[in-house]
Amino acid sequence: MIRGLRGATTVEQNDAEAIAQETEALLGQMIEKNDISPEQVAHVWFTVTEDIDAAFPAKAARQFKGWEYVPVMCAREIPVPGSLEKCIRIMLTADTKKAQNEMHHIYLNKAVVLRPDLELTDTKE
């Protein structure tokens, strides 16, 4: 079954190193907590808010062994007034035997406020 896996994090500043570091931390936890291998991944979408343009967060995926062939794409989020600033979001689709409610969505830093309705969501600061 193809499942969607969500994650989000924030950066303190629009800086290439911070973007890479926070994206790598987020994707790493998504991979680890859900036991995802690169062969299972159909594709990964990375989005950023308008205030992030110093680097492509998708580049962080290349830091993981075997991920050089995983299709990745970056896009910009809709600029909704009052939305969370300096936010990087990930939508990863993967083939897994896990049920929908067994997927561990990961929210880090200030992004923990995005999905308080998911009681079983891993939220690490």
User: CA 108 to CA 26: how far, in whole Å?
Assistant: 7
12, 50, 62, 102: which is the annotated catalytic residue? 62
Say how many C-beta atoms besides its own lie within 10 A of residue 4's C-beta.
13
Active-site residue flag, 115: yes
Active-site residue flag, 76: no
Active-site residue flag, 87: no
User: CA 71 to CA 94: how far, in whole Å?
Assistant: 12
6, 22, 24, 87: which is the annotated catalytic residue? 6
Q: Is 6 assigned a ligand-binding role in the annotation? A: yes
22, 24, 87, 107: which is the annotated catalytic residue? 107
Q: Is 69 assigned a ligand-binding role in the annotation? A: no
Active-site residue flag, 89: yes
User: CA 3 to CA 18: how far, in whole Å?
Assistant: 29
Active-site residue flag, 77: yes
The contacts of residue 56 (CB under 8 Å, 6+ apart) are 46, 74
12, 22, 89, 102: which is the annotated catalytic residue? 89
Our CA dihedral for 103, 109, 115, 118, rounded to 10 degrees, sits at 40
**Residue numbering of the annotated binding site for prephenate:** 6, 89, 107
Residues flagged as binding site: 6, 89, 107
Residues noted as catalytic: 6, 62, 74, 77, 89, 107, 115
